[in-house]
DNA sequence: TGGCTCATGTAATCTGTTACATGATTCT
DNA sequence: AGAATCATGTAACAGATTACATGAGCCA
């Protein structure tokens, strides 16, 4: 049984879609799931090494001696592992919003400080929303490919959530300005 | 300058509202901010010890030799630290939703598996929503006390967000059932 | 030639969780 | 008396980030 390390599952999921280098994996994370997951080189490379020794992934022989670039491919055992995790009901969902922490403790500073904090949050979310809408839009045009419906639903979640955040920001600022 | 450890700020924020024991702090976290923040005894007690040696909190002389129970109080330096953090624009907001990860990689299993995962998520959120609505409701009746408006806004964020999640769940399940 | 991005990897460190150990107090 | 909850604390470990070290390939 594989460890419960989530980065392993992220990597397996990405490799199940297409062979990738560690560098590619980092990009896939940053571009595809950054709204709800992060990953650094410092976790990706060691994970690849340990997963190779477990037989979950394997190095693809670099054609034309691509030198330096190391592509990884998922093995059948890796796919089994991935499916097992996907089927497992135990799922942890965590929010870690420092903005909400600062809001909760807002009574210790002037209301303007909290209003400003909300505005900073608002700007972050507005940027994220632009990005997510673009993803959703692009995906809506290629829904014929199997995996894309899932990518689309994920992007939709992000869009809906961000819009809900922004609505709350406006209402809260109004309440604080009273 | 204090470390950037977030648990320290959580503790300072709670102590700014009222003197507490480590045990109380854990309860406050679980009851007040669990929607977006977690904390365990294993992080709270060591943090209290180190913050005392930094002069950010101090032990309250336990009247009547309360034996065993150790109340902490925030110091002026602690308050300064808290306000400094509240005023600092740098704020990290992170989602870590395993459910979305499983959704994103849903192409590797039958649609029913993903639908079921969404349903599990839905149930979690429904429970959380009941709790958050209760908090919001209670707080709406005591908005006269200074800090309560901030608690109320935080609970509102939770309610709005959960409702948005639930709407998305319904729509996504419908799409997947096609 | 200089700078940017591509690309891999390691070491130090941080932060926190889990599990355990221990015992007091309160409720039934 | 026994169970549940209150209460504090430690040790082992997990999981990840940051900064660093290193160097290739490409473009202007």
CB spacing of A150 vs B107 below 8 angstroms: yes
B104 HSE (CA, 13 A, CB side): 28
Task: For B2-21, write each residue's pLDDT tens digit.
Answer: 467 999 999 999 999 999 99
Query: What percent of chain A is predicted at pLDDT more than 70?
Result: 95
Kindly report which amino acid residue has its CA closest to the C1' atom of nucleotide C23.
Answer: B68
CB spacing of A100 vs B37 below 8 angstroms: yes
Poorest-confidence range of A2-16, A119-133, B61-75? B61-75
Chain A: give the shortest CA distance to residue B89, in Å: 7
In degrees rounded to 5, what are phi and psi of residue B176?
Answer: -75, -25
Q: Which of B86, B102, B118, B129 to mutate to test the interface with A (most CBs of A within 10 A)?
A: B86
Per-residue pLDDT for A64 more than 70? no
CA B125 to chain centre: 15
Task: For A51-61, write each residue's pLDDT tens digit.
Answer: 999 999 999 97
Radius of gyration of the CA atoms of chain A, in A: 20
For residues A90 and B121, the answer to whether their CB atoms sit within 8 Å is no
B120-159 in b/e form (b: 16+ CB < 10 A) is ebbebbeebbebbeebbeebeeeeeeebbbbbbbbbbbbb
C-alpha–C-alpha distance, residues A159 and B135, integer Å? 27
DSSP A60: P
Q: Which of A89, A157, A159 to mutate to test the interface with B (most CBs of B within 10 A)?
A: A157
For residues A16 and A82, the answer to whether their CB atoms sit within 8 Å is yes
Per-residue pLDDT for B65 more than 60? no
Kindly report which amino acid residue has its CA closest to the C1' atom of nucleotide D24.
Answer: A68
Task: For B136-170, write each residue's pLDDT tens digit.
Answer: 999 999 999 989 999 999 999 999 999 999 999 99
Q: What is the pLDDT, as a whole number, of residue B2? A: 45
Poorest-confidence range of A14-18, A63-67, A116-120? A63-67
Measured at the alpha carbon of residue B137, what is the angle toward residues B131 and B141, in degrees to the nearest 5? 145
Kindly report which amino acid residue has its CA closest to the C1' atom of nucleotide D6.
Answer: B23
Helical H runs in B96-147? 98-104, 111-140
Determine the distance between B108 (CA) and C6 (C1') in angstroms: 30
Task: For B89-137, write each residue's pLDDT tens digit.
Answer: 999 999 999 999 999 999 999 999 999 999 999 999 999 999 999 999 9
Measured from the Cβ of residue B90, the count of other Cβ atoms closer than 10 Å reads: 8
Measured from the Cβ of residue B13, the count of other Cβ atoms closer than 10 Å reads: 25
Determine the distance between B115 (CA) and D14 (C1') in angstroms: 31
For residues B85 and B92, the answer to whether their CB atoms sit within 8 Å is no
CB spacing of A91 vs B106 below 8 angstroms: no
pTM assigned to the model = 0.94
Per-residue pLDDT for A94 more than 70? yes
CB spacing of A101 vs B175 below 8 angstroms: no
- The counts of H helices and E strands in chain B are 7, 3
Measured from the Cβ of residue A169, the count of other Cβ atoms closer than 10 Å reads: 20
Chain B: give the shortest CA distance to residue A169, in Å: 9
Cβ-based contacts with strand D at under 7 Å: A 3-7, 38-43, 47, 67-68; B 21-24, 41-42, 45-46, 48-49, 68-70
CB spacing of A16 vs B108 below 8 angstroms: yes
Q: What is the pLDDT, as a whole number, of residue B63? A: 59
Q: What is the pLDDT, as a whole number, of residue B67? A: 61
C-alpha–C-alpha distance, residues B104 and A149, integer Å? 9
Per-residue pLDDT for A20 more than 90? yes
Q: Which of A91, A110, A111, A124 to mutate to test the interface with B (most CBs of B within 10 A)?
A: A91
CB spacing of B102 vs A109 below 8 angstroms: no
Per-residue pLDDT for A25 more than 50? yes
* Range B23-42 average pLDDT: 96
């Amino acid at each position: 049984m594989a460890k419960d390390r989530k980065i392993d599952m992220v990597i397996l999921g990405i490799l199940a879609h297409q062979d990738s280098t560690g560098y590619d994996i980092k990009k896939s994370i940053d571009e595809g799931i950054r709204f709800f997951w992060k990953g650094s080189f410092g976790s990706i490379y060691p994970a690849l090494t340990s997963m190779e020794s477990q037989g979950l992934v394997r190095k693809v022989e670099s054609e034309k001696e691509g030198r330096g670039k190391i592509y990884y491919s998922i093995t059948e055992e890796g796919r089994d592992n991935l499916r097992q995790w996907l089927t497992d009901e135990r799922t942890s969902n965590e929010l870690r919003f420092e903005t909400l922490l600062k809001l909760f403790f807002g009574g210790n500073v002037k209301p303007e400080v909290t209003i400003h904090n909300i505005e900073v949050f608002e700007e972050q979310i507005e940027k994220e929303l632009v990005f997510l809408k673009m993803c959703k839009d692009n995906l809506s045009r290629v829904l014929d490919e199997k995996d894309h419906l899932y990518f689309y639903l994920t992007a939709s979640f992000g869009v809906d959530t961000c819009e809900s955040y922004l609505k709350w920001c406006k209402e809260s600022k109004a309440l604080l300005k009273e």
